[in-house]
Amino acid sequence: MYRKGEVSYVPIPLPDRVQMPPDEALAAAQAFLARMKTRHSVRQYSTEVVPEALITTCIAAAGTAPSGANHQPWFFAAISNPAMKARIRAAAEEEERAFYAGGAGDEWLAALEPIGTGIAKPHLTDAPWLIVVFAQRWGTTEDGTRYKNYYVPESVGIATGLLITAIHHAGLVCLEHTPNPMKFLPELCGRPASEKAVMILPVGYPAPEATVPAVAKRKKPFDAICQVFP
């Protein structure tokens, strides 16, 4: 975390060591892969209550992410307030109406067809929690001095990935909803002009009738995402 005047490098011994023997490491990696294969983006939510402590612990895990110059340029607003969720849904659906009425090109709409998305966004009010992810484009010190943040999209992307993983690890589901532009979100959440909302994650338990699009289970083969150079 950036603090004005801290400009020297001070090394400390590695505080945690998690290395395992190769066979244990492979078993752990395979178990994690199997676990992550059960992650799904869900649009139908149960209204069952999710404890606040569960949500904040997942966010705390996201806060451990690496970031450019360790500036940690992210903020997470966790919302369970029904009125706030209703306002977010109304704004999202207004934008979706414009999107589907011609704002999106034919190619984009065709790409979305197998996903089954539409104008209605009931998940934004049905889910017990919404987590709004903000990117801090710049920061300010305690005395108001402005400073630059580095690799903001990359840093926030890593933190969001950790958040999604933590949510799944906790037995919850979420959906990656990108607010575009929904410029009222910083004001609604009391955030400064330096921050931009980049994602909304509805979080909760899946509804009994929850479904996922069949195409979502179609992942690229390994050789299409990785090449090994021994």
Q: For residues 125 and 139, give the distance between their C-alpha atoms in angstroms, rounded to a whole number.
A: 32
Q: Tell me the CATH number at 123.
A: 3.40.109.10
The answer to whether residue 216 is domain-embedded is: no
Kindly report the pTM of this predicted structure.
0.95
Helices (H) then strands (E): counts for the chain: 8, 6
The answer to whether residue 224 is domain-embedded is: no
The answer to whether residue 54 is domain-embedded is: yes
* Residue 8 CB coordination number (10 Å): 5
Per-residue pLDDT of the chain (230 residues; tens, 9 = 90+): 788 777 789 999 999 999 999 999 999 999 999 999 999 999 999 999 999 999 999 999 999 999 999 999 999 999 999 999 999 999 999 999 988 887 888 898 899 999 999 999 999 999 999 999 999 999 998 888 999 999 999 999 999 999 999 999 999 999 999 977 888 999 999 999 999 999 999 999 999 999 999 999 999 999 999 999 99
The answer to whether residue 34 is domain-embedded is: no
| 76-99: burial string, b at 16+ Cβ within 10 Å, e else | bbbbbeeebbebbbebbeebbeeb
Q: Which residue has the tokens 């021994």?
A: 230
Number of domains within the chain: 1
The answer to whether residue 9 is domain-embedded is: no
Per-residue pLDDT, 81:
98
Per-residue pLDDT, 203:
98
Residue 167 CA to its chain's centroid (Å): 10
In the numeric block, which tokens belong to residue 168?
């799944």
Structural domain harbouring 140:
42-207
Q: For residues 78 and 74, give the distance between their C-alpha atoms in angstroms, rounded to a whole number.
A: 13
The answer to whether residue 225 is domain-embedded is: no
Element (DSSP H or E) covering residue 129: strand 129-136
